[in-house]
Amino acid sequence: MNFLSTFVTFKSLHEVWRLCHWGPVIALSVIAICSTMAMLDSIIWYWPLDTTGGSINFIMLLNWTVLILYNYFNAMFVGPGYIPLGWKPENQHDIQYLQYCRVCQGYKAPRSHHCRKCNRCVMKMDHHCPWINNCCGHVNHAYFTSFLLLAPLGCLHAAIIFVMTMYTQLYERISFGWSTVKIDMSAVRQFQPLMPFSMPAFAATLFALGLALGTTIAVGMLFFIQMKVILRNKTSIESWIEEKAKDRIQHYQTGEEFIFPYDLGTRFLNFKQVFTWSGTPKGDGIEWPVHPKCHQHTLTIEQLKQKADKRVRSVQYRAVEDYNGACCPLGKGVQTFFRTPCTEEPRIPLSKGDTILATRGTKWWMYGDKVLNEDQMIAGERIRGWFPRRCVEKCHYDTASSESTSDKKLN
C-alpha cells in the first residue's frame, strides 16, 4: 500500500472499497488482458532485446500501461471534490440564491449537485461514472479525461501488436484450397520464436484483439464527449439546465436572455480551467470565473426558477397496484419488462393508495416523488425514482401546485 500511495493519492483506506464494483472489475480486467497479451505477443513478434525497434515497442507498451493505470486510479481515488458538510456561503444574503441539501445538511455551492451514489454534494459534477465507481467532477476531471485519451491509444498500439503477431505466425502455416482455408499450427516455421504460438495462444490473441478494438471505439467516443464538455466549460448537467432554461423562457414568453455564465469566451481559456501544469484544476470548487454579463449565482437562480416551474407542472398520480421496486418487473407486462429505463436512477416501491408527483416519463414508465407523511418529512427523507405507468392513475383533482405539496418538494 505504501508503494501504491506514492503514485496514487488515497484520502483514506476506506476509498479502496470503490474497487469492489462491477465497473472497476470489468475495466481493470480489460486493461490486464490487453496489456498482458500485448507484452506476450511482443516477445513472440518483436523480441525487445534483439533490435532497437523491439526495445522501443516494448517500452512504449509498458509506458501506456503505467500511464493508464495512474490516471485511472487517481480519477477513482482522488475523487471529484465534495462540498463540506453543512456548508454555508460567507455572505448570508447569498443563501436566497442557493438550494439546500437535506442529506448534507448544507447549501449547494454553484455548479455542485448531490450524487445519490456518493451521497455527497459534488463540486462541478458532470456525471457518476460506473467504470471508476465515482463521480467525475472538479478535482478529478483532468485525470478522468487523460484516462479516456490514453486508454484508446494504448489499445490501438496493442491491436497493432496482435495483428502483426498473428500475421507473422500464421503466414507460413496457412494454405488455401478451392473452397477451404487450412491453418496447420504444427507446421515448423523457418524462424522459431522464443515462445511457441499454439492454437490457445491464437485464440487468446484474437479475443484480446476484439477487446482492444472495442475499447478503442467506445472509450474514444467518451473522450470526445468529455473534450466537448471541457472546451465549452459546460458539464452534461449544465447543458441540460441550459436547455430547460430556453424551454422555460419560450414556454412562458418572459423575454429573458439566458447566458451561460461559465463559458470564458475561448476554448483555450476553458481548457486551462481543467488542465494545468501542476495537475490541480483552477479554483476552489465553490467560486468560479464567470461571463462579464453574469454573476456567481446566475445558474443557481435559474435552477430555482426551474424547480418552481417543475412543482407547478408536476402531475399527481395515485397508485392502483402494488409494485416491489424491481428493475424489470415480471408481473407488469411484457412492454414494461423490456422497456425499463436504461439508467442507474432508483425504482421506488409503491403500495396501493400511495400518492406520487410525476415530473417526467416514457410510454411505459414514469419518474416522480412519493408524497411522504409528516414524520418522514421532518426526518429529511425523500423517495423518488421510476415506477411502471400501469401501476398508477392520474388524480382527477390537482393539488400538485398547492402550497402544502410544494413544501414537500425538496431542493
Number of structural domains, the chain?
3
- Scan for cell 498500439, then name that residue: 157
Longest Cα separation, the chain = 86
- Scan for cell 431542493, then name that residue: 411
pTM flag (> 0.75): yes
Residue 185 maps to a domain: yes
Q: How many CB atoms lie within 10 A of CB 271?
A: 15
Residue 365 maps to a domain: yes
155 Cβ contact partners less than 8 Å away, ≥ 6 residues apart: 34, 211, 212, 213, 215, 216, 219
Residue 2 maps to a domain: no
With contact defined as beta carbons under 8 Å apart, do 251 and 305 qualify? no
Tell whether 159 and 240 lie within a shared domain: no
Tell whether 267 and 303 lie within a shared domain: yes
Residue 122 maps to a domain: no
Per-residue pLDDT at 397:
60
Q: Rounded to an integer, what distance in angstroms lies between the CA atom of residue 371 and that of residue 315?
A: 12
Tell whether 221 and 178 lie within a shared domain: yes
Q: Rounded to an integer, what distance in angstroms lies between the CA atom of residue 171 and that of residue 120?
A: 57
Q: Which three cell numbers stand for residue 47?
A: 523480441
Return the closest-CA partner of residue 360 out of 389, 382, 393, 397: 389
Q: Rounded to an integer, what distance in angstroms lies between the CA atom of residue 35 and that of residue 353?
A: 56
Tell whether 53 and 185 lie within a shared domain: yes
**pLDDT, mean of each 10-residue run, the chain (411 residues):** 50 77 96 96 86 92 96 95 95 95 94 93 96 96 97 97 88 60 52 67 94 97 96 95 93 90 95 92 94 95 93 91 92 92 88 93 93 78 91 74 42 42
Return the closest-CA partner of residue 73 out of 22, 128, 18, 153: 18
Query: Any idea which residues carry the catalytic annotation?
Result: 129
With contact defined as beta carbons under 8 Å apart, do 60 and 157 qualify? yes
Residue 5 maps to a domain: no
Per-residue pLDDT at 45:
86
Per-residue pLDDT at 411:
42
Tell whether 75 and 18 lie within a shared domain: yes
Looking only at the bridges linking them, the beta strands covering 384-388 and 392-394 are unpaired
- Domain boundary (179, 209, 232) is at 232
With contact defined as beta carbons under 8 Å apart, do 67 and 252 qualify? no
Tell whether 194 and 297 lie within a shared domain: no
Q: Rounded to an integer, what distance in angstroms lies between the CA atom of residue 359 and that of residue 367?
A: 6
Domain that holds residue 217: 13-79+139-232
Residue 208 maps to a domain: yes
